[in-house]
Amino acid sequence: MTPAPRKRSAPARRPAPARRPAPSKRSVPRLPAPARAEGALGPRQLLAFDAAARLPGTAKVVGVLVPAGARSVKAPPGITLSPAYLALRGFEGKRGQSVVVPGPAGKVVLALGTGSPGGDDLEALRLAGAALVRGSAHAAHAALYAGSLPRGVDPAAAGQALAEGASLAAYRYTTFKSDTNGAGRPRLERVTVVGGDPVLAAGLERGAVVASAVALARDLVNEPPGSLTPTRMADIATRLAARSGLEATAYDSAAIDAERLGGLAGVARGSEEEPRLVRLEYTPRRADASVPTVALVGKGITFDSGGLSLKTADGMMTMKTDMSGAAAVLAAMSVLGRLGVPVRVVGFMPLTENMPGGRAIKPGDVLRARNGKTIEVLNTDAEGRLVLADAISLAVEEGPAAVIDLATLTGAVVVALGRRIAGLMGNDDELAARLEESSARAGERLWRLPLPDDYRKDIDSEVADIKNIGGPGSAGSIIAGLFLREFVDGVPWAHLDIAGTARSDADDGYTTKGATGFGVRTLLELLGSWDVSAPA
C-alpha cells in the first residue's frame, strides 16, 4: 500500500556529510581529469570591459551601432558612415548584421546592425556585441560607440546586453586542446564602450558577471563524461559553494538510500560510478523569515546511454549534455551573491550516469520515489523524470513560493520547437508569465505547452501508481510534464524542457558550437527581479 506523501510544511531531513567513495577496483583506465586542479571550475570573466569618453588609441577595432533604415549614423569624431555607402555594401542594419567600412589609419570600423530603430530590443544589442567580437579576432582591444544606442533603451540594460553578447561570443572550450591559442580562438581581451550614459558602466559589469555564469555552465556541459563524473561534479559544486557564499550538502549513496530517493538510486544501479544529490542554499544578506524561497531543480545525468533501453550510437554521441539542467542551476546559483539577488534560493542537483550494467533497472521494474509514489519503469531511457521526481519532492519540502526545474528531458520537444526554443510547462499561470517575461529580456526563448488533465490517464500503470512513459504516439513532452506534476504537491511549479536548446551544432551570434548554457540568464533575470515585498 502506498504511504501518504509527506506534508509540505514538514522540514526536510538533512543527511550526514557525503563520504568519499572507495577507490574503484576496475582494471579499465578512466579518462584523466583536465590539467587544471580538480574542482577548480568556476565562473570566469571572458572579456574585460570599461567605459571612456573618447576612443582609446589602443583600440584597433571600432564598432558603431546602426539601426535599419537610418538616414544618418552617429559616429565618434574622425569616423564617417554614409548610409548610401552601407547600402551599396548590402548592409541593411538588420539584427546581427555587420560590415567593415573605411576608417582612420590603423583602425578597422565595423557597422553593427541593430534592427528596427527605437524600442527596448536587448537581443539586438547582444547580437551587436557578438558581431563586434567576431569581427575583432586579431585585435587585443576593441571599442564600441554607445552614442548610437537605440532610442528608448535603458542604459544599464543596454550595457548588460552588450557585455553578455560580446563575452559569450568570445567563449571557447580549450581544456583538452594541445594548442589553446589556435587560429579559431579570438585574441580579443578588452572592450571599451565610448560615450553614452554613465549608468551603462554598471550594466557592463553586471553583464560580465552573468556571462561568467553562462561560461561555467558551458564548461561543465562540454567536459567529457569520463572526466565529469557525478562525484566530481558534486565536488566542484561543494568547492564552488564555499567560494560563492552558498551552503552545500552532498548526499552519497548511503544518504540517497536513507532519504528514500528511489528514482535516483534506481537509475544509478546500472553504473559503476556512484550517484550524488547536491543541495545548495543561498540566503541574501539581511534576509528575514518573510523573504520567500524559490527552489531550483536541475537534471544531472552526466552520461545517458539509455540504460537497458539502449540508445543508438549516434544518439549517444552528445549525451554528456544530459546534465545541462544541473549545470544551469549550479552556474546561476554561483553568482547570486555577486548580483545581489533578494530572494532565498535552494537548488537540487540529482547526479548519476544511466548505464546498462548488470544491476541496471529493467523495463517492468517498480521504483518508489521520495514522496511515496510508485513508478513502473517501462523505458529506462526515460530516466530523467525518475531522478527529478525525487529532487522535486525534496524541493517541495522546503515550503517554497515556487519550484522551477530544468532538464534535457525529451526528444519530442525538439520535434515540436526545434533547437532555439525551450518548452515551458507548469501548474501556475503567474509563474509561467514571470518566466516568459524574464526569458524574453534574457534572450532565451520559451514556448508554453499545455498540461491537459485528460492526458493524465496515459501514465496510469497496471501495477504501480504511475508509469514513466505514455502510450505509442503520445505527446512525449506533455506526458513528461504530467509525470513531473505528480510530485509538486500543488506548489507553484514550472518545468523547462531544454533538450533542444542546451546544445548548438554551429557558431551563431553569441552562441558557440557545443554547450549553450541555456537557462542561466533566464533564471538570473527572474530571481533578480523577484518582488520580495509581495505575498509569497
* Catalytic residue ranges: 311, 385
Strands (E), 264-413: 276-282, 293-298, 300-304, 344-354, 365-368, 374-377, 402-407
Residues paired with 467 in a beta bridge: 376
Q: How far apart are CA 240 and CA 437, in angstroms?
A: 30
Q: What are phi and psi of 407, to 5 degrees?
A: -155, 140
Strands (E), 232-385: 247-251, 276-282, 293-298, 300-304, 344-354, 365-368, 374-377
Pairing relationship of beta strands 48-52 and 190-194 according to DSSP bridges: parallel
Q: Name, in order, each residue with C-beta under 8 angstroms of 421's C-beta and a sequence gap of 6 or more.
A: 445, 446, 447, 500, 501
With DSSP H G I counted as helix, E B as strand and the rest as coil, what are the percentages for the chain, rounded to 5? 30, 20, 50
Buried b (16+ CB within 10 A) or exposed e, 398-437: bbbbbbbbbbbbbebbbebbebebbbbbbbbeebbebbbe
| Cβ neighbourhood burial of 455 (10 Å; 0-12, 13-18, 19+) | middle
Angle, CA of 115, 117 and 118, to the nearest 5°: 125
State the CB neighbour count (10 A cutoff) for residue 154: 16
Q: What are phi and psi of 98, to 5 degrees?
A: -145, 155
